C-alpha cells in the first residue's frame, strides 16, 4: 500500500512528521523522467545503454576508492541513482531485488 494523499487530521501527510524521501520516490521520479523527460533531463540521457553502463562502472569505482564517510555516502548515492535508472529502464522494481536477496538468504 502506498499513501497518495494526506492522512492526518491536520491536513499533513502524516501525524508523525514530514514525508521522508524514499527509494520508491526516487524510482517514480526516474520512471517519469524516462517517459516524459523535461528539456535537458540528465535522466533521459541515460536511455543510452553505453552511457548508463559507463556511469555505473565509474561510480562503483569511485565508491570503493572513497575513504571518508561523507564521500562514501556521496558516491553510494550516485551508484544507487544509476542502478535505479537501470532497474527502471528494465521495469524491475527494487522489491524484486530485495526478494532475490531474501531468497538467497533462505538457501
C-alpha grid cell for residue 12?
499533513
The pLDDT of residue 21 = 87
**pTM check: above 0.75:** yes
Q: What span, in angstroms and rounded, lies between the C-alpha atoms of 26 and 85?
A: 9
Q: What span, in angstroms and rounded, lies between the C-alpha atoms of 33 and 45?
A: 10
100: left (phi over 0), alpha (psi -120 to 50) or beta: alpha
The pLDDT of residue 37 = 85
Q: 3-class DSSP state for residue 9?
A: coil
Task: List phi, psi (to 5°) of 95.
Answer: -60, -30
Q: What span, in angstroms and rounded, lies between the C-alpha atoms of 36 and 23?
A: 20
Mean pLDDT by 10 residues, the chain (107 residues): 64 68 92 89 93 98 98 98 97 95 90
Amino acid at each position: 500500500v502506498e499513501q497518495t494523499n494526506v492522512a492526518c487530521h491536520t491536513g499533513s501527510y502524516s501525524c508523525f512528521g514530514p514525508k521522508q524521501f524514499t527509494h520508491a520516490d526516487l524510482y517514480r521520479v526516474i520512471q517519469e523522467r524516462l517517459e516524459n523527460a523535461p528539456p535537458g533531463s540528465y535522466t533521459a540521457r541515460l536511455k543510452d545503454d553505453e552511457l548508463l553502463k559507463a556511469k555505473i562502472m565509474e561510480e562503483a569505482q569511485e565508491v570503493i576508492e572513497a575513504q571518508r564517510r561523507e564521500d562514501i555516502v556521496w558516491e553510494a548515492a550516485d551508484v544507487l541513482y544509476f542502478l535505479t535508472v537501470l532497474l527502471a529502464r528494465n521495469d524491475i522494481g527494487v522489491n524484486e531485488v530485495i526478494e532475490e536477496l531474501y531468497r538467497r538468504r533462505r538457501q
